[in-house]
Amino acid sequence: MSVEPLKNLPDDAPEWEALRQAMAASNARLPDPSPLVLQHALARITALSSVHAHNGHRASMPTDGWQAHPLSGLLLLLRRQLPLIGAGIWAASLIVLVMGMILTYLFPYAGGPSTYVLALAAPIVAAAGIALIYGPENDPASELEYATPISPALILLARLVLVYGYNLALALATSVLLWLLLGHIAFWPLILSWLAPMLFLSALALALSVIWNSQAAIIAAFSLWGVHVFDALRSPLPAFADFLNALWSNQMLLVLLALVCLALAFLRTLRQEQRYV
């Protein structure tokens, strides 16, 4: 590994260069590592290889006391993942859901809660956010994660909890506000109008982003939801509209499909992890 000389120096360049040279001089006086470091590491690798040969799976490395303190470990993981999720995801959800609430307040359709702008916006904005939480195109540090003892599946779960939880909280807050402002709408039908679709679309987006990529996930989620929105607002085919309506209002079916998608996403992530061993 070679260190290049400093380039494009600013006005106070001499001071930075002097500091760099001072640090280099200081570093030069630090000792070398013991030759035993490599020997011990190679011995550990040999031991790990024999464990792999026997067990056929990745031997676990020290995992920072996770077994002893799983809750604090999970909280720490959530905090660590927070800055790695794109800032645009948080901002987009906030803007879209607040706009959705305002538009619903100003123009409440007579078609019921499922046609409210808020109910139409909440599932797709959550799905778009979820589609962008994982993968090398969204995370420049993803290569490092594969080389760390924290499982990529656990990282995926942490990010899912953060982004889905954020969208869920926002959608709930805006729904409560809308319910208080409008007065004449029923609370639970409003919540149920977006809750299961949001879960299913998010799970679908996650599965597609893990299996293919984020673009494919966003296109699929937008297409699927777009057809439903178009149909809900202005259906040219009543029979098709009835079918879609039955599908999107079947909470049990949507939850079941969401669980299948989530299982697929995590199985795929675990498989990737095994490939890297």
Partner 1 sequence: MDEIHAPQPNTRCDDAERLLLSLIAEGKQEALVALYQRYQRPLFVYLLRLLRDERTAEEVLQDVIVAIWQGAASFAGRSRVSTWVFGIAHHQAAQAARRHQLPQVSPEDCMEIGDEEQDAGRVTFSLALQEDLEAALASLTPMYREALELVLAQGFSYEEAAIITAVPVGTVKSRVNQARRQMQRMLVERGWREGVKS
The residues binding partner 1 (CB under 8 A) are: 1-4, 6-10, 12-13, 15-16, 18-27, 30-34, 36-38, 40-42, 44-45, 48-49, 58, 61-62, 64-65, 76, 79-80, 83-84, 136, 140-141, 143-144, 146-149, 275-277
- The residue (of 40 and 227) whose beta carbon lies closer to partner 1 is 40
Q: Smallest gap, in angstroms, from Cβ of residue 135 to partner 1?
A: 11
Q: Smallest gap, in angstroms, from Cβ of residue 238 to partner 1?
A: 50
- The residue (of 18 and 182) whose beta carbon lies closer to partner 1 is 18
Q: Smallest gap, in angstroms, from Cβ of residue 16 to partner 1?
A: 5
265: left (phi over 0), alpha (psi -120 to 50) or beta: alpha
Q: Smallest gap, in angstroms, from Cβ of residue 159 to partner 1?
A: 13
Within 13 Å, how many C-alpha atoms sit on residue 154's CB side? 16
| CA neighbor of 247 nearest in space, from 191, 172, 204, 196 | 196
Burial (CB count within 10 angstroms: exposed 0-12, middle 13-18, buried 19+), residue 209? buried
- The residue (of 23 and 186) whose beta carbon lies closer to partner 1 is 23
* Cα–Cα distance measured from residue 67 to residue 193, given in angstroms and rounded to the nearest whole number: 40
Q: Smallest gap, in angstroms, from Cβ of residue 33 to partner 1?
A: 4
234: left (phi over 0), alpha (psi -120 to 50) or beta: beta
Q: Smallest gap, in angstroms, from Cβ of residue 250 to partner 1?
A: 40
Contact 163, 85 (CB under 8 A): yes
Within 13 Å, how many C-alpha atoms sit on residue 184's CB side? 6
* Cα–Cα distance measured from residue 195 to residue 203, given in angstroms and rounded to the nearest whole number: 12
- The residue (of 80 and 227) whose beta carbon lies closer to partner 1 is 80
- The residue (of 20 and 271) whose beta carbon lies closer to partner 1 is 20
The identity of residue 230, as a single letter, is F
- The residue (of 188 and 276) whose beta carbon lies closer to partner 1 is 276
